[in-house]
Amino acid sequence: MLKTKIESILPLVQKPARYTGGELNSVVKNKENVDIRFAFCFPDTYEIGMSHLGMKILYSLINSRENYWCERVFAPDTDMEAVMREKDIPLFALESRDQLADFDVVGFTLQYELCFTNVLNMLNLAKIPLRSKDRGDSLDIPVVIAGGPCVCNPEPLADFIDAFQIGEGEEMMLEFLDLLNEYKKQGKSRSEFLKAAAHIEGIYVPSLYDVTYNEDGTIKEIKATNGAPDVVNKRVVADLDKIFYPDTFVVPFVEVVHDRVVHEIFRGCIRGCRFCQAGFWYRPIREKSVETISEQSQRLACTSGYDELSLCSLSSSDYTKITELLEELLGWAVPQKINVALPSLRIDNFSDELKEKLALVRRSGLTFAAEAGTQRLRDVINKNISESEILDTCRKAFVGGWTAVKLYFMIGLPTETDDDVVGINVLSQKVVEEFYSNPDKPKGKGVNVSAGVSSFVPKPCTPFQWEPQDTREELKRKQKLLLDTCTSKKITFRFHNTDLTFLEGVFARGDRRLSDVIEAAYNNGCTFDSWDDKFKFDTWLQAFETCGLSTEFYANRRRSYDEVLPWDHINSGIRKQFLICENEKAKNAETTKHCRQQCAGCGSNKLNGGKCDALSQNMV
Amino acid sequence: MRSVRIWFNKTDTAKYISHLDLTRCMVRAFRRTDIPLWYTEGFNPHPHLVFGMSLPLGVEGLYEPLDIRLNDENYPLQRVIDELNRVTVPGIKFIEITEPQNKPLEIFSADYSAQLVGIDLEGIGEKIKEIIANETLTYEKKVKKGGFKTINVTENLKNFEVTEENGGVLLKFNLPAGNDFTVSPVNFCNLLTEKLCRDDLLWRITRHKLLMKNGADFI
């Protein structure tokens, strides 16, 4: 019945192939033979969700168990949602087209803060009670879980999610499902299951923690109850060569954002840029071997038919054997007409040898993350690249025939002055001049320097987690300052919406009282907040007002080192003392060497039995 | 280099794959096989694939032509079909491979069937016959130059038949489907449900074969 209903609305919506399933390598099982059904939900549209590597890994991992079945669910686009609501069609999974209420687990991946209302909307479309406390004490209603980088601070969603998976899922996911399977068979209750699940390393059950507040609104205490651990350790997998990696990817029919074979070459980052959450959160450093990457990529290319392979990591050129890896990959990729893409390259170790290898790869855009306009500010954020390195690399690129360069910057960084902001213009102008000083520049062609200027958001698990975020007014003033001081037509600026940035800042460091705000905003029509055209800032402000909470308290306030932070009971592995020390060094514009030069003692290797690939290479 | 024509069907959920997406889907299918597909020799080589006539989104096709070129003239033709079926996606099946007799530009019309799905279909067949006999069905089509062009369905409709059995309704008809002029079977069917004032009904439309101007099958 539901299947016919769904079929009847497909002709009415844009790109129906996003809702049909049936893509190559999608997994269909007989539900009679399945113990646990898992709905993997991505709280954004199909095109964005299908680009996400984590989902591909966990989808294949869960389906590798004969008696578990993982299916995919995406947020329906607005036209689809309207028809679904009109015809009373509940949210369904693509493979079986069964409604989510029929599943055992509904799991969300949280990639960015502004997807939170989509999570609520999907639960609502699925007719699952929004709040954990309203889901009763049986396991008949699906257990709602969430993972992904946002769970670095899961608190804003604490009231809606039964259990968070903190950290890497490859092992924790199956342990969690095995336990659920066992408890379901024994007819245990929901609360019994959640209490037991809290003892799996990496599982955080928010309802088992009591949070009390001081009069000034800061947190007094976070207290574990019912025997739950005081601190939840982030889960880390030890060996990327031995850990599960898919043999196949689901190959979408419609064009999605990243439509290619993706291969993660290492986790973590040696650089320690102080603003970067991923750089700390994904530590310690663990590299995958050249052989494993090559073998697995070749298999994926073969089973998907993709003609592009993209390597993925936080800083690809920091992979110790990058040249050897490219040589190996290009060895089989070029004859098979497969294009190898290598994003996330750093300016300072863009070696000639590497460039030679990259010349064999089809040319894509050239993008450099300079992050700040002056050396002083780059030192503050520990972005250890110099102006001469930036200009050198640009010169080489121009000589190599490039005529367009993208530069990434941030405004609103701690200690930033107007000179630093104007410095973005100065540096961009120098890049333009570099182009014209090239004697062999292509005739009749100008240069295009595109400066993407985003606004800094202080994030948990970074040395800047105590810093105030610039107010919206200040960020707008700095954007205007940049435009006013730019004299070249060769430079184009692209800015981020400051209202979006502001809200991101609120949620990044929010506490669980924000659950009320999210629900209020959702009830007043907020969804797809990360889409400029659907973002309703006034509705959000109204929701804060209704709930009696101040946005400035979360975004624009400097926290003291001894304040209890909402995510203090989540252990990323990075020592707080290390973050404090880095924060102090930032104030003095003192840099920290990268992990291979000298271990800074962040502490993240503790969660990995003392092992860190940067450390072992350092000792050799 | 050898030119061959592959015949495939596109049914079930595959009918929702748009024409543009189908091209990409086919190229990837070939890449999963060892078929020696001929690539263009430009700066950015790509395989040479020509579809006879695009299928409207949501319409099934039972015998659709796809022209390709093989680099290796001795590659067994049946193996092309076997290899493609080995790696194909749900809903697309490869039927046979032939030497092209006609040029894709000679395609002029197509035979369709349309099955009506829904409840309370009693007497609907008769009503449809009346509509076809007494009314002129037209719709507006956007043209590339901008503006609209009126398409007259009624005067282009050929071999129209209605059968009612087991409470279901099945239409069979032929409409122009060529490079110069096409009448959409989807719009035709939707016009009928509009005239019937039944927006609860669902059409399952199938394209059976492509024909040339002289009425002979396109082969």
pTM for the structure as a whole: 0.93
Q: How many CB atoms lie within 10 A of CB A465?
A: 22
Which residues on A lie below 8 Å from B30 (Cβ)?
305
A345 or A298, greater pLDDT: A298
If residue A577 lies in a helix (H) or strand (E), which one and from where to where?
helix A576-587
Q: Which two tokens stand for residue A284?
A: 């310690």
Asked if pLDDT for residue A506 goes beyond 80, the answer is yes
- C-alpha to C-alpha distance for A122 and A81, rounded to whole angstroms: 10
Asked if pLDDT for residue A348 goes beyond 70, the answer is no
Give the HSE-up count for residue B166: Cα atoms under 13 Å, Cβ half-sphere: 4
B28/A22 Cβ within 8 A: no
Asked if pLDDT for residue B161 goes beyond 60, the answer is yes
The residues near B103 (Cβ < 8 Å, ≥ 6 apart) are none
Task: Give residue A145's identity as a one-letter amino acid code.
Answer: I
- C-alpha to C-alpha distance for A76 and A118, rounded to whole angstroms: 10
Identify each DSSP E strand in A247-288 by its residue range.
Answer: 261-264, 266-267, 286-287
Identify each DSSP E strand in chain B by its residue range.
Answer: 2-10, 49-51, 60-70, 92-98, 107-117, 138-142, 148-152, 158-165, 168-176, 202-212
Give the HSE-up count for residue A307: Cα atoms under 13 Å, Cβ half-sphere: 16
Structure confidence at residue A156 (pLDDT):
98
The answer, yes or no, to whether ipTM is higher than 0.85 is yes
* pLDDT mean over B182-203: 90
Question: What does the pLDDT look like over A38-66, one tens digit per residue?
Answer: 999 999 999 999 999 999 999 999 999 99
* pLDDT mean over A10-19: 94
CB-count exposure of residue A480 (10 Å: 0-12, 13-18, 19+): exposed
A163-165 and A143-147 as β-strands: parallel, antiparallel, unpaired?
parallel
A417 or A392, greater pLDDT: A417
In chain A, count H helices and then E strands. Answer: 21, 19
Q: What single DSSP character describes residue A107?
A: E
SS3 A21: coil
Structure confidence at residue A349 (pLDDT):
61
Asked if pLDDT for residue B6 goes beyond 80, the answer is yes
Question: What does the pLDDT look like over A199-228, one tens digit per residue?
Answer: 999 999 999 999 999 999 999 999 999 999
B13/A11 Cβ within 8 A: no
Asked if pLDDT for residue A497 goes beyond 90, the answer is yes
Where does the pLDDT of residue A620 fall: very low under 50, low under 70, confident under 90, or very high at 90 and above?
A: very low
If residue A227 lies in a helix (H) or strand (E), which one and from where to where?
none
- C-alpha to C-alpha distance for A435 and A400, rounded to whole angstroms: 11
What residues in chain A have their Cβ under 8 A from chain B's Cβ atoms?
4, 7-8, 10-11, 15-17, 20-24, 251, 253-255, 302-307, 336-337
Asked if pLDDT for residue A131 goes beyond 90, the answer is yes
- C-alpha to C-alpha distance for A411 and A413, rounded to whole angstroms: 6
If residue A403 lies in a helix (H) or strand (E), which one and from where to where?
none
* pLDDT mean over A299-327: 91
- Do A475 and A411 touch, CB atoms closer than 8 A? yes
- C-alpha to C-alpha distance for A43 and A610, rounded to whole angstroms: 35
The residue of chain A nearest to residue B187, with distances taken between CA atoms, is A11
Where does the pLDDT of residue A617 fall: very low under 50, low under 70, confident under 90, or very high at 90 and above?
A: low
Asked if pLDDT for residue B151 goes beyond 80, the answer is yes
Q: What single DSSP character describes residue A146?
A: E
A140 or A359, greater pLDDT: A140
Q: Which percentage of chain A shows pLDDT scores above 90?
A: 83
* pLDDT mean over A465-485: 96
Tracing tokens 């004697």 back to the chain, one arrives at A439
If residue A73 lies in a helix (H) or strand (E), which one and from where to where?
strand A68-74
- C-alpha to C-alpha distance for B87 and A85, rounded to whole angstroms: 37
Strand partners, B65: B7
Chain B contact probe: residue of A253, A260, A302, A303 with most B CBs at under 10 A: A253
Chain A contact probe: residue of B11, B24, B34, B92 with most A CBs at under 10 A: B24
A261-264 and A367-371 as β-strands: parallel, antiparallel, unpaired?
unpaired
Residue ranges and CATH numbers for the domains of chain B are 2-100 (3.30.70.580), 105-212 (3.30.70)
For residue B193, the distance in angstroms to the closest alpha carbon of chain A comes to 13
Identify each DSSP E strand in A104-162 by its residue range.
Answer: 105-109, 143-147
Strand order in the sheet with A448-455: A367-371, A404-411, A448-455, A491-495
SS3 B87: helix
Chain B contact probe: residue of A9, A18, A20, A363 with most B CBs at under 10 A: A20
Going by C-alpha positions, the residue among A576, A579, A565 that lies closest to residue A511 is A565
SS3 A41: strand
* pLDDT mean over A471-477: 97
SS3 B158: strand
Q: Which two tokens stand for residue B34?
A: 């060892």
- Do B196 and B128 touch, CB atoms closer than 8 A? yes
Asked if pLDDT for residue A619 goes beyond 50, the answer is no
Where does the pLDDT of residue B180 fall: very low under 50, low under 70, confident under 90, or very high at 90 and above?
A: confident
Which residues on B lie below 8 Å from A303 (Cβ)?
32
Q: Which two tokens stand for residue A9?
A: 């609305």
SS3 B121: coil
For residue A340, the distance in angstroms to the closest alpha carbon of chain B comes to 15
Where does the pLDDT of residue A356 fall: very low under 50, low under 70, confident under 90, or very high at 90 and above?
A: low
Dihedral sign computed on CA atoms, order A475, A479, A480, A481? positive
Going by C-alpha positions, the residue among B19, B27, B18 that lies closest to residue B45 is B27
For chain A, state the CA radius of gyration. 24
Structure confidence at residue A3 (pLDDT):
87
Asked if pLDDT for residue A283 goes beyond 50, the answer is yes
Structure confidence at residue A363 (pLDDT):
55
Question: What does the pLDDT look like over A262-282, one tens digit per residue?
Answer: 999 999 999 999 999 999 999
Length in residues, chain A: 620
B107-117 and B202-212 as β-strands: parallel, antiparallel, unpaired?
antiparallel
Asked if pLDDT for residue B26 goes beyond 90, the answer is yes
Mean pLDDT, chain A, integer: 93
The residue of chain A nearest to residue B28, with distances taken between CA atoms, is A305
Question: What does the pLDDT look like over B38-86, one tens digit per residue?
Answer: 988 877 778 889 998 999 999 999 999 999 999 999 999 999 999 999 9
B58/A10 Cβ within 8 A: yes
- Do A168 and A235 touch, CB atoms closer than 8 A? yes
Q: Where are the alpha helices (DSSP H) in B32-148?
A: 77-87, 124-134
B21/A253 Cβ within 8 A: yes
Structure confidence at residue B117 (pLDDT):
84
- C-alpha to C-alpha distance for A250 and A20, rounded to whole angstroms: 13
Residue ranges and CATH numbers for the domains of chain A are 2-233 (3.40.50.280), 260-363+607-620 (3.30.750.210), 365-503+562-589 (3.30.750.200)
Going by C-alpha positions, the residue among A520, A500, A533 that lies closest to residue A78 is A533
The residues near A258 (Cβ < 8 Å, ≥ 6 apart) are A51, A310
Q: What single DSSP character describes residue A468?
A: P
If residue A404 lies in a helix (H) or strand (E), which one and from where to where?
strand A404-411
Asked if pLDDT for residue B188 goes beyond 60, the answer is yes
Which residues on A lie below 8 Å from B39 (Cβ)?
337
Query: In angstroms, how far is CA A116 from the centroid of its own chain?
Result: 14
Question: What does the pLDDT look like over A543-594, one tens digit per residue?
Answer: 999 999 999 999 999 999 999 999 999 999 999 999 999 999 999 999 999 9
The residue of chain B nearest to residue A363, with distances taken between CA atoms, is B44
Where does the pLDDT of residue A616 fall: very low under 50, low under 70, confident under 90, or very high at 90 and above?
A: low
Q: How many CB atoms lie within 10 A of CB A464?
A: 24
Query: In angstroms, how far is CA A45 from the centroid of its own chain?
Result: 16
